Chain A
């Protein structure tokens, strides 16, 4: 199961946080900071997996991350997930964002937090992977946009 999905930039500023297990707001912020601390000190070209920090549950959990330009995408998962599979999922997520936003950049995530959440919701639900097929995801997002547009026009 995926316990949390975090996106933050190179300075540790959170751009998206989604927890699939309940934590207090304070703890959530601490987890983000701890995760940033763990991930950011790692060199490029080392492996993309590491043991989770204490707050998220220690060595029973694993952080799987990718670093794109200014952003870190981190998935915290338990032992029931395939590491490489999650790594691919991050890639699907990013490619989907890229298609939806046309060359996604950090600013898009900042100004469209709700959209990013919606796209993520098409992929991961309650900590489980819902859909991995990018076309399917984009179709869903498109149809939502259409509904949104029609509501704006009629409303």
Chain B
């Protein structure tokens, strides 16, 4: 018998629906609907009380009208009446209406809540289910406030019916998602875990979903679920399918529950208990084995269910990333799927392999499938599958196959869908840079990119090629030659003109010896493009011209003529006009020397994370982006971008400032933090910082070696009393005794830092044989490079001596270096050792992010080892402003409005080291009553989380 007989139901409703369906035009439909709305409104407002049946009928009509896309602004009251009815049919339709048409009208919510409350306490399972459904579907805060404390008891009560348990579990899950602060943890949490043992598989499924969500938030509290989940999974996987009766789906035992359990296990690292671990491995092996068995049914549902479990098992294997054999088996299995005739499986296999590629155990195995993936890129009909293929190629790329992959991506680009071109361009640009051994190849690749997909090449990409060419002498001549040739094409993309203008302006002299690319030829070539270009490009070309005047005096008059022409000097665009006038004057009055100084070659750009990578991450979100590096997210990639945009918009009054063409990345201004911090004497903070990159600290290490023979730093007293005061600040007095005061001023930028050490002689007598050097432990030496400049051996009485320490952070570190000072004072040898406040957090770059991004990243860093938490007693008065200042001083960005509780502090930043970047999220929860704090840190590295937690928790 069919569950719904077609004859019954409401005739009035059927007639109305038929009328609507018979409407010939949209207008007729609207007319009919308006007529009906008027009718219903009058019925609801009328004097005659409506019976339940009529109310139900009208509410159904409203639902239908709503589905057609018309606003419904009444009927809510009637729906509330219906849900308060004792009749099931009326109650049900009332709840349905409320669930579909939620309205935040607060009066109404109170009435609805009242109805729900009655049903929850009714002990009628059907009514309880309706009420729980309504809470879950609406999920509003008001409802959470009213019921969040009640539902856990329904869930774990012994006499609750299975179906109600299921609903209660999911209802709680929903409320935990929408209003986590309102769902109290408590005694029930332990009992929820035991629902994994429940007889009823529906209850187990719902409980597994709930526990997964709760475990993501507080893994420690639900650790006991691991063993239960493994046991349950093992019973399902090894059971003959008949055991599970109805939960067997097309010959697959409880596929949905298996998927849920495997998901739950992905909240944790592999179980530590050996027996448990081997049982889980056995399960995973069985699932992999089953994939090789012949199918028990030809129906697609069978293979779907089976593979749903398989893919989830593979996801768990990848998540654990600890069993090389399983990883390789998973990879082989996915390899088979890559050639499967089911498109869905090919899609999922490509996607899974992306994550597999980042595991050190399986990266090589993934690479063996390169030809299949390239083939997929060429032959798949479905753009979503091709997109996954691009992602996978990107993920499997390394030095050995970069050339092949980049070439394939480039050739795909020519016919690629417009929707994904920009992303491919970014990926090609990143791979080309990352794996460039030979920079001529890099230059060729980027120019090809511009040629093939110029419109999709964003500013970041062409900025980057220029940065790289400027920073690498060996490629400059080649770049000049190549752009010169590329510009010969009759129609070339404007981005190519920009790159060409910039590079020839800087390095045109390198190819000027060849008569085919003599200065005049170069200039004519550039100028032939001038009139076809937009204003910013023309502005850039004008700057290139003035650079030409410096490089090639022989074309000076030609260029002056161009600058002097009316189309330049009287250009409608103020920027162009100003440039033309200023450049013309400059070329006329300045001597060759001045010209050469002003128009000197651009200094190298500071090394930093590629701004393209940042863009790709912004575009894709870090979760989806396969990235072999640890560089999770980026703090500064768009600095130059935003600045250059600014530069285009305002015409700068100063000639000097204007010499750098607009749209150019400006190295000198891209370090604002440093310049503002640079209060001290150093005249060239910028160039000095760069020297740090190239000059290894040979002198320092030599000194250290000499010293470490005579004085072992461990044996002497190292002063660290002021050390912790420098965690959140950079300047101050680190040491003082009767003779000597040592003050510090520090500045940090990305992975580089500089400390100015000021030694003040407090006496009226000379210090003789003064020396000061830095001593690091053996492990610290590999993590931190410190170069100490030599100092004058004499410090006059009352005088101050300055020493500069340049620091480079190679990787994350825990120890602190020691500054070892010796001098003779009145014949006695003095020896002082001071712990230098160089801590990991100094290499923070703050990162602003929105609430949504924050939580997404917070969740991604959900593996237990990535989190470090500590609870500690406040040592200082708990003052919000002071805490704010300390967190900012710590180096992270303070994020407002992220934490639901405004009393909490949430921050984020990126630790920059030479080898990698580590994203870091932190949360500080003060408890004013108990005078306690709870500090939680999540980063992708355990050691970093731990160190930062130790440093910061000492500050409050």
List A residues at the B interface (Cβ < 8 Å).
Answer: 1, 14-18, 20, 22, 25, 29, 32, 42-43, 45-51, 59-60, 79-80, 82-85, 87-89, 91-92, 99-102, 108, 110-115, 117-118, 121, 125-136, 138, 140-145, 147-148, 151-152, 155
Residue of B63, B87, B385 touching A151 (CB-CB under 8 A): B87
User: Which residues in B have their C-beta under 8 angstroms from that of A82?
Assistant: 259, 263, 308, 311-312
Docked Cα-Cα span, A110 to B246, in Å, equals: 30
Which one of B162-170, B470-478, B631-639, B700-708 contacts A? B162-170
Which residues of B lie under 8 Å from residue A29 when comparing CB positions?
69
From A42, which residue of chain B is reached at the shortest CB distance?
B382
Cα separation A130 to B133 with both chains bound (whole Å): 10
Q: Does B77 contact A (CB under 8 A)?
A: no
Checking A15, A48, A147 against B344 with a beta-carbon cut-off of 8 angstroms, the contacting residue is: A48
B184 CB-CB contact with A under 8 Å? no
B831 → chain A closest CB, angstroms: 60
| Contact flag A88-B2 (CB < 8 Å), given A25-B66, A47-B385, A125-B133 | no
**Separation of A129 and B381 alpha carbons in the complex (Å):** 32
Query: Closest residue of chain A to B343, judged by CB?
Result: A47
Q: Cα distance A129–B174 when bound, in Å?
A: 12
Q: A115-B4, A125-B133, A133-B246 are in contact. Are A46 and B308 (CB under 8 A)?
A: no
Q: Is the CB of B166 within 8 A of A131?
A: yes
CB-CB under 8 A from B256, the residues of chain A are 85, 88-89, 129, 132
Supposing A84-B307, A130-B206 touch, asked if A125 and B344 sit within 8 A by C-beta, the answer is: no
Q: Name the A residues within 8 Å of B521 (CB-CB).
A: none
For B167, the chain A residues whose CB sits under 8 A away are 125, 130
Cα distance A91–B60 in the bound complex, in angstroms: 27
Given the interface pairs A47-B347, A113-B63, the reply to whether A151 lies near B89 with Cβ below 8 Å is yes
Does B96 lie at the interface of the complex (its beta carbon under 8 Å from any beta carbon of A)?
A: yes
Q: A46-B381, A112-B9 are in contact. Are A145 and B170 (CB under 8 A)?
A: no
Closest 3 CB pairs of A and B: A126-B136, A84-B308, A126-B174
Chain B residues whose CB sits within 8 angstroms of the CB of A138 once the complex forms? 3
Can you pick out 19 interface pairs between chain A and chain B where the beta carbons lie within 8 Å of each other? Answer: A14-B68, A79-B623, A82-B312, A83-B308, A84-B304, A85-B256, A85-B259, A89-B256, A91-B304, A118-B92, A118-B96, A126-B133, A128-B209, A129-B256, A133-B247, A135-B246, A140-B163, A145-B4, A151-B89
| CB-defined contacts of B454 to chain A, threshold 8 Å | none
Report Cα–Cα, A60/B177, bound state, in Å: 17
Residues of B within 8 A of A117 (CB): 96, 100
In the complex, the number of residue pairs spanning A and B with C-beta atoms less than 8 Å apart equals 193
What separation, in Å, do the CA atoms of A118 and B93 have in the docked complex? Answer: 9
Which residue of chain A has the shortest Cβ distance to B177 in the bound complex? A1
Give chain A residues whose Cβ lies under 8 Å from the Cβ of B53: 155
Verify if B671 is at the interface (C-beta below 8 Å from A).
no
Q: Which of A18, A20, A46 contacts B382 (CB 8 A)?
A: A46
The one of A43, A51, A142, A151 that contacts B3, using a Cβ cutoff of 8 Å: A142
Whether the pair A155, B9 counts as a contact (CB closer than 8 A) is no
Residues of B in contact, count (CB < 8 Å)? 78
- Among residues 329 to 360 in chain B, which have CB atoms less than 8 Å away from a CB atom of chain A? 343-344, 346-348
Complex contacts, B100 vs chain A, CB 8 Å? 18, 117
With a CB–CB cut-off of 8 A, which chain B residues contact A85? 255-256, 259, 308
Given A113-B67, A133-B202, A147-B88, A59 and B624 contact (CB-CB distance below 8 Å): yes
Find residues 97-121 in chain B having any chain A CB closer than 8 Å to their own CB: 100, 102
State which residues 1-20 of B face A: CB under 8 Å. Answer: 2-4, 6, 8-9, 13-14, 17
Besides the contacts A83-B311, A130-B170, what 19 more A-B pairs have beta carbons closer than 8 Å? A25-B71, A46-B343, A49-B348, A59-B620, A60-B856, A82-B259, A84-B305, A85-B256, A85-B308, A100-B3, A101-B4, A110-B21, A113-B60, A126-B133, A126-B170, A128-B136, A143-B126, A151-B87, A155-B87
- B37 to nearest A CB, angstroms? 14
Q: Is the CB of B171 within 8 A of A126?
A: yes
When C-beta atoms are compared, the residue in chain A nearest to B66 turns out to be: A25
User: What residues on A are CB-neighbors of B304 within 8 Å?
Assistant: 84, 87-88, 91
Cα A85 to Cα B132 in complex, Å, equals: 25
Interface membership of B552, Cβ < 8 A: no
Pick the most buried of B4, B8, B88, B343: most chain A CB atoms within 10 A of its CB.
B4
Please measure, in the bound complex, the distance between the C-alpha atom of A42 and the C-alpha atom of B382, giving whole angstroms: 8
B314 to chain A, nearest CB (A): 11
B253: shortest Cβ distance to chain A, in Å? Answer: 12
- CB nearest neighbor in A for B172: A126
Q: How many Å lie between the Cα of A115 and that of B66 in the bound state?
A: 16
Residues of A near B372 (CB, < 8 A) are: none
Residues of the A chain whose Cβ atoms lie less than 8 Å from the Cβ of B854: none
Q: Does B368 contact A (CB under 8 A)?
A: no
B2 near A49 with CB under 8 A, answer: no
The closest CB in chain B to the CB of A142 belongs to B3
Chain A residue with the shortest CB-CB distance to B619: A59
Question: Looking across the interface, which residue of chain A has its beta carbon closest to that of B381?
Answer: A46
Complex contacts, A131 vs chain B, CB 8 Å: 166, 202, 205
Chain A residues, Cβ within 8 Å of B816: none
Q: Which residues of A contact B170 (CB under 8 A)?
A: 125-126, 128, 130
Point out the residue from A99, A111, A125, A140 that lies within 8 Å of B2, measured CB to CB: A99
Task: Decide if A16 touches B92 in the complex (CB within 8 Å).
Answer: no
Asked if B4 and A144 make an inter-chain contact with CB atoms under 8 angstroms apart, the answer reads no
Inter-chain contact A114/B93, CB cutoff 8 Å: yes
What distance in Å separates the Cβ of A121 from its nearest Cβ neighbour in chain B? 6
Nearest Cβ in chain B — how far from A134, in angstroms? Answer: 8
Question: A-facing mask of B15-41, CB < 8 A → 1, else 0?
Answer: 001000100000000000000000000
Whether B9 and A83, one on each chain, are in contact in the complex, defined by CB atoms closer than 8 angstroms, is no
CA of A14 to CA of B60, assembled, Å: 16
Say yes or no: A108 contacts B6, CB within 8 Å: yes
> Considering residues B60, B71, B96, B308, which has the most beta carbons from chain A within 10 angstroms of its beta carbon?
B308
* Contact between chains at A101 and B2 (CB < 8 Å): yes
**Shortest distance in angstroms between B144's beta carbon and chain A's nearest beta carbon?**
12
B64 within 8 A of A: yes
The interface centre, meaning the residue of B13, B96, B171, B256 with most chain A CB atoms within 10 A of its CB, is: B256
**Which A residue sits closest to B315, measured CB to CB?**
A82
Chain A residue at minimal CB-CB distance from B166? A130
Q: Which residues of A contact B202 (CB under 8 A)?
A: 130-131, 133, 136
**Are B344 and A20 neighbours in the complex by a CB distance under 8 Å?**
no
B201 and A88 form a contact (CB under 8 A): no
Cβ of B9 and Cβ of A111 under 8 Å apart? yes
B126 CB contacts on chain A under 8 angstroms: 143-144, 147
B301 interface hit (Cβ, 8 Å): yes
- Cβ contacts under 8 Å, B201 to chain A: 133
A148 touches B89 (CB 8 A): yes
Are B171 and A125 interface neighbours, CB within 8 A?
yes
> Are B382's CB and A127's CB within 8 A?
no
Question: Which residues from chain A contact B343 at a C-beta distance below 8 Å?
Answer: 45-48
Query: Shortest beta-carbon distance, A119 to chain B, in Å?
Result: 8
Give bound CA distance, A78 to B608, whole Å. 34
Q: A150's closest neighbor in chain B, by CB?
A: B88
Say yes or no for B603: interface residue by CB 8 A criterion: no
